[in-house]
Amino acid sequence: MSATTSHKPTLIGRYEKVIGVLVKYGFADVAMHPPFNRFVPKWKRLIPKHDGMPVTEFTRYERMRMVCEELGTTFIKFAQIASNRPDVLPEELVEELQKFQDHALPVPVEDIRATLEQELGDKLTKAFESIDYQPIASASMAQVHRARLVGGQEVVLKVQRPGIGDTVELDIQILKSLARFVEDRFDKFDAYQPVELVKMFEASIHKELDFTLEAGNVRRFEEQFRGNPDIYVPTVYTELCTEKVLCMEYIQGIKCTDLKALERIGMTGPELALKGINLYFEQVFDHGFFHADPHPGNIFVLPDQRVCFIDYGMMGTVMEPDREMLADLLLAVHDQDTEGLKASLLQFSWDEEKIDQKSLEYDIGEFFQNYTNIGLADIDSNEVMAALNSLFFDYKIRVPSNLLLLLKALVIIEGVGLMLDPKYNIIENIHPYVSRLLRRKYSPAKLTKRMARTLGELSKLATSFPEDMEEVIEKIKRGKLHIEFEHRGLEPLDSALDVASKRISFGLVLGALILGSSLLVIADVPPHYKNIPMVGVIGFVVAGLFGLRWMASIWRQGKF
């Protein structure tokens, strides 16, 4: 079906699809609650088997992955982004979510052609000599085609899947409803921050849906490495880029893990590991703008031995203060400094007061004890990162998402380095960059700048202090000085008291209604029907209805 004749998805239709998949994988308990229960036909409330096996044979985390896989693009992307939050998700779930492979069936040729005509208009015939409509890659968000510009330049066209934006918007609404439901009904999931995860995902996927942002990423990346002889950045053709189409230079290079092909251009695996990963460290610690998905398929080597990164859709940014925090953490790991690592982890935390610092210190000591008798070259940094992630999760240390994205990217790039050189050790090789960043942090120029800023703030305070004190004294004299108190953490108590007071009031009214009706029946107050006082009966009926309504309200909240 072509893009012009396809049916636009509806929210109700998408809800029914989500519910069907939830029930299929044994999450009927979720589908039976608002907002899903309005859309669940009775015949769908039976839980079928999966691949001939009862769903109870799979773990809950495996079934969560299966649900995301079957629901497609939005849920797969959400799972991939959620897997970057090991500080709020359990390790078993993160491992399942990291199994996703972003691939999809190709889009029909007529749909791709229709999208290109709609986005590029006359440029499609004027700028392109030919387009190969057989994709060289097909992912859930877009697919990639080779093409040739007028003049012979080989390019690739990244074309967004037709209608994906509409489906994504509907799925975001469903994810928000689901996240709110989970957060409201299941207190044990509060630590996972489902609503915050959805908000983070919404911002991320909106960026991925706009290919002009990816074109901007390429240009920024090229500017920061301009003049560097070890790296090559593909040319992006801005005039042929739109929100749904990206046009950039086709890279005819060697996949970074093809050791035989590397030998033919005179390069060994260890040489490439050192050059490529040093370029990555430069991205992170010198520029603060880095490729966030550096897997082997996104790194090529040109015949002149220059390294070329492709696919700039997922980039990370880390500001200098955060780079310094990360440097402190990595240096503490390298030096096995318990106090230093504890201080670094607490720097990451947004709510330091809730952390049991003594227990954290013991766990860090145990963390280092595991590596005391192991040589630096034998330490597996994957295990180190996993152990750090466990500390983040166990102590509810909520790390900024950009830093977690960076930690994950460092693990990926280390895996690439080990493919090229089994003896490569990222902790040892990262140390010079970390030390250089910290030397820059405490350099005389930086310290002078900080001192000048501090003196400026003190000067401003000293200048305004007499005037501020005069104003305070004047308010005291006139009796107009007010002190405001802020109560924190009392919202749950306030809400509970409000509910309790309403229920008590309702109970008193209900009891009075029952008692009054009883007196009317005993007093035999007319009118009568078959010798029964009707006013009293009506009172009992109203009291019964109110009582049922009261019990239903308590039942819905699940609190007795």
3-state class (DSSP) for residue 337: coil
| Cβ atoms 211, 160 nearer than 8 A | yes
* Amino acid occupying residue 444: P
- Which of 87, 111, 293, 328 is labelled catalytic? 293
**What tokens does 25 get?**
């994988």
Backbone dihedral angles phi then psi of residue 523, each to the nearest 5 degrees: -75, -5
For residue 552, with 0-12 CB atoms within 10 Å meaning exposed, 13-18 middle and 19 or more buried, which class applies?
exposed
Cα 245 to Cα 30, 77, 156, 216, 292, distances in angstroms: 38, 19, 10, 13, 21
DSSP class per residue in 87-155: TTS-HHHHHHHTT-----PPPPHHHHHHHHHHHHTTHHHHHEEEE--S-SEE-SSEEEEEEEETTS-EE
CA atoms of 161 and 108, how far apart (whole Å): 10
CA atoms of 244 and 208, how far apart (whole Å): 10
User: How crowded is residue 22: how many other Cβ atoms within 10 Å of its Cβ?
Assistant: 24
| Cα within 13 Å of Cα(49), Cβ side | 5
For residue 545, with 0-12 CB atoms within 10 Å meaning exposed, 13-18 middle and 19 or more buried, which class applies?
exposed
CA atoms of 354 and 305, how far apart (whole Å): 51
> In sequence order, what are the beta bridge partners of 137?
144
| Cα within 13 Å of Cα(39), Cβ side | 19
H or E stretch covering 156: strand 154-160
User: How crowded is residue 50: how many other Cβ atoms within 10 Å of its Cβ?
Assistant: 17
CA atoms of 134 and 4, how far apart (whole Å): 20
Residues in the chain, overall count: 560
User: How crowded is residue 38: how many other Cβ atoms within 10 Å of its Cβ?
Assistant: 9
With tokens 């003896």, the residue in question is 423
Q: Closest Cα partner for 164 from 120, 127, 211, 124?
A: 211
Q: Does the active-site annotation cover 293?
A: yes
Backbone dihedral angles phi then psi of residue 119, each to the nearest 5 degrees: -85, -40
| Cβ atoms 59, 371 nearer than 8 A | no
User: How crowded is residue 490: how many other Cβ atoms within 10 Å of its Cβ?
Assistant: 9
**Rg of the chain over all Cα atoms, to the nearest angstrom:** 31
For residue 527, whether the previous peptide bond is cis, meaning omega lies within 30 degrees of 0, is yes
3-state class (DSSP) for residue 480: coil
- Active-site amino acid positions: 293
